[in-house]
Amino acid sequence: MKAKIDTVLKKYVSRKLMVFVVASFGLFSATLTSSDWVIIAGIYIGTQGAIDAIAKLRQ
């Protein structure tokens, strides 16, 4: 059961990271506004912090 949860969390984290990288590329190529990038970065940082906290609790 724990292995399945770890697999799902790893896939979720890598998808979020990919969205963050794409948003950063959009920011630097001037196709994304800075305010939109701040929202995406905040969501990424917030959810990553929650996932890290849950992972520490599960240990």
How many domains, the chain? 1
Q: Is 21 exposed, middle or buried (0-12, 13-18, 19+ CB in 10 A)?
A: exposed
Instruction: Quote the pLDDT of residue 11.
Output: 67
Q: Which two tokens stand for residue 27?
A: 């920011």
Q: Which domain covers residue 34, as residue numbers?
A: 2-58
Alpha helices in 1-59 (DSSP H): 2-28, 34-58
Positions of the chain with pLDDT lower than 70, given as ranges: 1-2, 5-6, 8-13
Q: How far is CA 53 from CA 46, 47, 49, in A?
A: 11, 10, 6
Q: What is the pLDDT of residue 56?
A: 81
